Amino acid sequence: MDRRVGSTGNQTLQIKKRDVGNTTTLLRLPPTRLQPVLPQDSASSLAMQSAAHTAASPFASRLALGPCRRPSHKRALITTAASADAPHIAIVGGGWGGWGAAKALCEAASLDAPVRVTLVDALPDPTGATVPTTASGKPIEAGFRGFWRDYPNIFSLVDAPDDVFTPYLPSAFYSPDGLEATAPVFADATLTLPSPMGQVLATFDNFKRLPLQDRATMAGLLLAMLDYDRDEATRAAYDRMSAHELCIRCGMSKRLVDDFVRPTLAVGLFTPLEQTSALVCLELLYFYALAHQDSFDVRWIKGQTVGKQIIAPLVAKLQQRRDTGAVLNVLGGSRVSGLHTDGRRITGLTYVDGRSGETHNLDGLSGVVLAVGSTGMRTIVRGSDAALAITCPELTAAASLPATDVMTVRLWLDRRVDVPYPANVFARYPELRGAGGTFFDLSAASMQGGTQDALRALWAAAPDTDARTLGTVIACDFYGSTQLSMLCDTDLVDMITTRLLPSCVPAFAGVHVLEHNVMRFPSAVSWFTPGSFTLRPPLQTRLPNLVCAGDWVRLGDREHGAKGLCQERAYVAGLEAGNALLRAGVAGPAVATRQHAVLPIRPDEPQVMAGRAAAKAAADLAMSLGLQPSPWVR
């Protein structure tokens, strides 16, 4: 799961929970985006870094399959003091993109220029204040998400990062043959060399089975990373190509592709190589693997959920701005079904109260932020005034894009298991039925730099419980999981505990599951198919008071260094969406220049920038001689 950053906030998903005895319960869950984690991005080591991100709503976990105690289905309505005639902006979707927009808008308000913000989301409580639990009270969350070193804007939300996040931790890569590779903490390397030589040196002995001659065929992909972004025509050419075709054109060995690249990108972008844009793969690998030696270093939330640790404090701070003119309303448990327009501006929206089933309108809106994915976009466009589809073809294009399924399983085991690495990737397992997969030792992650309280929290244990007596808690996330999700919970848990986990770590053999929780999210995560880039929504639509947010949004001249299914990108897109409405005067002229600061990614290492410049110069020379500028695209 942040790809998998903003929850769709506008529709529910029908999800079946099947128990022993073939009893089927149909739950209606809001779609969301998972942000996965895994042995993070780099390319040989560089490709490892891409494995662990999934843009996702930090709150998808609020509803779960399996016996669970869900938050009250009352609409979460949070209201702060406000002027009734102040500009009123609605945000559809309560993931990273939605809350980024809310922050930018609320912090621009002042007593002489108040702003009202209403955030609408299908989750009962999108504020993160309510931690979802199982029936026995154990906390659950939709996916275990990593936070990479180059997430400056998200890290800026936390006053004391070391209290919220673990230290940067290594990860591993397993196949049916055993341990395949490990990803170290690159910043801890004894010898720091320029990228990509630093990554190559740091991981030279980390590949346990992949021969050196196969690893060497990664060189062509490294050159493509320097070439893909030299101009718009080149980007479009890479976007038309599948990632699998790129691997072939770059001369990568079949073993390297099948044993390492394919499973790595399956958990990084959630879709098969043959059905994924080469452009998006290169963006992701460049950001997580090539730009800096330590870009792939990742840390995790310690103990609590992302919503509880990061979003809830943010919402509380925004609420405290009520004395400075900010008005924040949160409509949880509500699904936006359509927008109203006069052909020139958005004037209102319609939403359905999930508790009562009643339909309501928000009229007189000054602006709207769509922080939704393609599934949500499709529902909203179809339910809107006919003039919206005519006026904004960019939204119908975005609504035409597919989405992929994700699934997460949490297991509470009867004993402690010593797992060598807290974050791990499954590779080449036929049991996954084409899905990408990861597993995480939540117990170990919670104890990293923390106290026994974090481990007790995973078990909802009493404060005086000796944490050493508590068993291991494992989270397994699966991406592109359409086939796998058709297994019932019992068969799924059995497969994980008897085949997958013991194959990776033999100490899992014979463990008993004391409690489990399974969540399925159909069509929840953006699917970056070949040719999809131009169909993705722009930051600014053709209506001046309608903007888009989320990791799939094209930011144009506000483009940011965070790429792919990435929590940082989703949050930045939200900040930029709020800023765009402010610049357009939607919130009034007094706040038009009050732009929220967006922290850039640190500059790429000098040799990487020099490599890009050299690649562009070589391409320009080739074109001047009437030759093809790139060996990979035309």
φ/ψ of 307, rounded to 5, equals -60, -45
The domain total for the chain is 1
Q: How confident is the model at residue 449 (pLDDT cuts 50, 70, 90)?
A: low
Q: Rounded CA gap, 430 and 418, in Å?
A: 25
* Residue 41 in this model has a pLDDT that exceeds 70: no
* Residue 411 in this model has a pLDDT that exceeds 80: yes
Mean local confidence (pLDDT), 12-30: 33
Which single residue is written with the structure tokens 């509803």?
A: 63
- Residue 113, beta-bridge partner list: 110
CB atoms within 10 A of CB 217: 18
* Residue 56 in this model has a pLDDT that exceeds 70: no
Query: For residue 186, what pLDDT is reported?
Result: 86
Query: For residue 32, what pLDDT is reported?
Result: 34
Q: How far apart are the first and last CA of the chain?
A: 34
176 in a structural domain: no
Tens of pLDDT, residue by residue over 111-144, are 999 999 999 999 999 999 998 899 999 999 888 8
Query: For residue 143, what pLDDT is reported?
Result: 82
Tens of pLDDT, residue by residue over 578-629, are 999 999 999 999 999 999 999 999 999 999 999 999 999 999 999 999 998 8
Q: Which domain holds residue 81?
A: 13-26+35-43+53-130+306-399+529-591
**CA 66 to each of CA 19, 20, 135, 488: distance values in angstroms, whole numbers, following the listed order:** 8, 11, 9, 11
Mean local confidence (pLDDT), 531-545: 97
Q: How confident is the model at residue 9 (pLDDT cuts 50, 70, 90)?
A: very low
Pull the structure tokens for residue 144. Answer: 């275990």
Query: For residue 5, what pLDDT is reported?
Result: 33
Pull the structure tokens for residue 95. Answer: 């993931």
Nearest Cα to 300, choosing from 163, 143, 146? 146
380 in a structural domain: yes
Query: For residue 48, what pLDDT is reported?
Result: 29
Tens of pLDDT, residue by residue over 320-378, are 888 888 999 999 999 999 999 999 999 999 999 988 999 999 999 999 999 999 999 99
Q: Is 126 exposed, middle or buried (0-12, 13-18, 19+ CB in 10 A)?
A: buried
Tens of pLDDT, residue by residue over 60-93, are 322 333 333 434 434 455 544 456 789 999 999 9
The pTM of the whole model exceeds 0.75? yes
151 in a structural domain: no
- With vertex at residue 40, the alpha carbon angle to CA 178 and CA 437, rounded to the nearest 5 degrees, is 50
Q: Rounded CA gap, 148 and 154, in Å?
A: 10
**CA 287 to each of CA 51, 260, 264, 458, 608: distance values in angstroms, whole numbers, following the listed order:** 12, 18, 15, 32, 12
Mean local confidence (pLDDT), 97-111: 96
Cβ-contact 52, 566 below 8 angstroms:
no
Largest CA distance in the chain: 76
* Residue 480 in this model has a pLDDT that exceeds 90: yes
**CA 492 to each of CA 29, 294, 417, 484: distance values in angstroms, whole numbers, following the listed order:** 20, 36, 20, 8
Nearest Cα to 9, choosing from 90, 106, 72? 90
**CA 237 to each of CA 104, 277, 439, 631: distance values in angstroms, whole numbers, following the listed order:** 35, 10, 35, 12
Higher pLDDT, 23 or 351: 351
568 in a structural domain: yes
622 in a structural domain: no
CATH, residue 64: 3.50.50.60
287 in a structural domain: no
SS3 549: coil
Q: Is 197 exposed, middle or buried (0-12, 13-18, 19+ CB in 10 A)?
A: exposed
Computed over every residue of the chain, the mean pLDDT equals 85
Q: Rounded CA gap, 562 and 556, in Å?
A: 14
Q: How confident is the model at residue 51 (pLDDT cuts 50, 70, 90)?
A: very low
58 in a structural domain: yes
SS3 592: coil
The two beta strands, 326-331 and 298-300, are unpaired
Give, for 239, the enclosing helix (H) or strand (E): helix 232-240
Pull the structure tokens for residue 310. Answer: 């990061």
Cβ-contact 409, 439 below 8 angstroms:
no
Q: Rounded CA gap, 473 and 524, in Å?
A: 25
